[in-house]
Amino acid sequence: MMEGIIVQGRGGLYTARDQAGQEYVLRAKKKFRRQGTSPLVGDRITFTPGGISDEHGWVEEIHPRVSQCLRPPVANVTLLCIIVSPQPAPDWLLVDKLLIFARKQNLRPLLIVNKTDLDDQGQTARQAKSAYAGAEMEVFSVSAEKREGLDAIRARLRGETCCFSGQSGVGKSTLLNALFGLSQETGDISRKILRGKNTTRHAQLFSFDDVQVIDTPGFSLLEIDEVFDPVLLREYYPEFAEYEGMCRFSPCYHGSEPGCAVLRAVQEGKIAQDRVERYHVLLADCRQRWRERYD
Ligand SMILES: Nc1nc2c(ncn2[C@@H]2O[C@H](COP(=O)(O)OP(=O)(O)OP(=O)(O)O)[C@@H](O)[C@H]2O)c(=O)[nH]1
Ligand SMILES: [Mg+2]
Ligand SMILES: [Zn+2]
């Protein structure tokens, strides 16, 4: 039996890497399915390598996970790096959803605004900083292409297992290439619709002395399909914390209730308005799913 880390998984075949850097192709034993689980990129495992004539070996055990992320599906990540860019234009609602997932799954989030060379007067970076100032999320700016701002990010990632996540075409793979001297495939964005072309197809983990990074396929749609009591949604917004308990109604959803301390703080410019507008979109969505939960 050997120990390793899963660096890639596709079509039921997993690639594991051992301490020496040797790679092995494996399948998961049936017991994992019975346990309602399956290996994820980032998992530490015990495995038996295949013999010379075998097509693959077997994943025997999955070691306890520090964290588990479903979107994207990866294990043991400590830092979820959300990448946005001026082109394709940022989908901030998607960023908010990723931020909620990160908090639910105990990952620290970090926002990276890439392609600052295309950012008209720094507008995207400014939007990011003002929207997330109270959200306990660090914001970095970088141009992977012009190689500006790389050192600060490299320093921040040290010691972490980082998962790069975000829309297709924002430059996740290009940025990882620039940061760590990798040579992953990158793709143009479509001129017509200014959208990425889903160049990266599978999550893949890269290990270095002091950092591990996972590149993941970009997406354009992200649903929060879990059903939970909408009153819990506000707990994922650190900017509300100091106003909790100060609203006229209890519980208050900070939706449109009179005497709401959060809404007052928004009016007074103490909480970013666009972030709360998007919270209201997610709240309506969450309420609807909660109402329909027995249908
Ligand atoms: N101008 C500019 N272009 C960049 C920068 N970083 C990446 N790009 C370009 O953006 C396009 C998309 O880059 P990718 O790295 O493939 O994007 P991705 O996020 O990995 O996309 P998916 O794999 O589809 O999720 C490529 O044409 C890159 O050359 C940058 O800092 N500035
Ligand atoms: Mg990519
Ligand atoms: Zn309120």
List the one residue out of 62, 12, 67 whose CA is nearest residue 37. Answer: 62
Residue 158 lies in a domain: yes
Instruction: Please indicate, yes or no, whether residues 163 and 79 belong to a single structural domain of this protein.
Output: yes
Q: Which domain holds residue 56?
A: 2-64
Mapped onto helix, strand or coil, the DSSP state of residue 47 is: strand
State the distance from the centre of ligand 3 to the C-alpha of 233, rounded, in angstroms: 12
> Atom 27 (ligand 1): residue with closest C-alpha?
188
Question: What are the tokens at 98?
Answer: 């990723």
pLDDT, tens digit (0-9, with 9 covering 90-100), for 15-43 = 999 999 999 999 999 999 999 999 999 99
Q: Establish whether residue 199 lines the binding site of ligand 1, counting it when its CB lies within 6 angstroms of any ligand atom.
A: yes
Task: Please say whether the dihedral angle defined by the alpha carbons of residues 84, 88, 89 and 94, taken in this order, is positive or negative.
Answer: negative
124, 184, 186, 206, best to mutate for ligand 1 pocket (most atoms within 8 Å of CB): 186
Residues in the chain: 295
pLDDT digit of tens for each residue in the chain (295 aa)? 999 999 999 989 999 999 999 999 999 999 999 999 999 999 999 999 998 888 899 999 999 999 988 778 899 999 999 999 999 999 999 999 999 989 988 899 999 999 999 999 999 999 999 999 899 999 999 999 999 999 999 999 999 999 999 999 999 999 999 999 999 999 888 877 778 888 998 999 999 989 999 999 998 767 777 788 899 999 999 999 999 999 999 999 999 999 999 999 999 999 999 999 999 999 999 999 999 988 7
230 CA distance to ligand 3 middle (Å): 13
Task: Mark whether 23 and 138 lie in a shared domain.
Answer: no
285 lines ligand 1 (CB under 6 A): no
Domain count, the chain: 3
**173 ligand 1 Cβ < 6 A:** yes
44: CATH: 2.40.50.140
Does one domain contain both 77 and 207?
A: yes
Residue 78 CB: number of other CB atoms within 10 A?
16
Residue that the structure tokens 């001129």 belong to: 191
The closest residue, in CA terms, to atom 26 on ligand 1 is 188
Helix (H) or strand (E) holding 280: helix 273-291
CA of 285 to the centre of ligand 2 (A): 30
* pLDDT attached to residue 118: 96
The CB of 145 under 6 Å from ligand 1? The reply is yes
Which of 215, 239, 274 lies at the terminal end of a domain, its last residue? 215
CB atoms within 10 A of CB 67: 19
Containing 180, the helix (H) or strand (E) segment is helix 172-180
> From ligand 2's centre to the CA of 141, what distance in Å?
18
Taking the C-alpha atoms of residue 280 and residue 266, their distance in angstroms, rounded to an integer, is 13
**Which CATH number covers residue 239?**
1.10.40.50
Q: Which ligand is nearest to the CA of 199?
A: 1
Residue nearest (by alpha carbon) to ligand 1 atom 10: 171
11, 35, 64: which is the final residue of a domain?
A: 64
Q: Are residues 261 and 132 in the same domain?
A: no
Number of CB atoms found within 10 A of residue 18's CB: 14
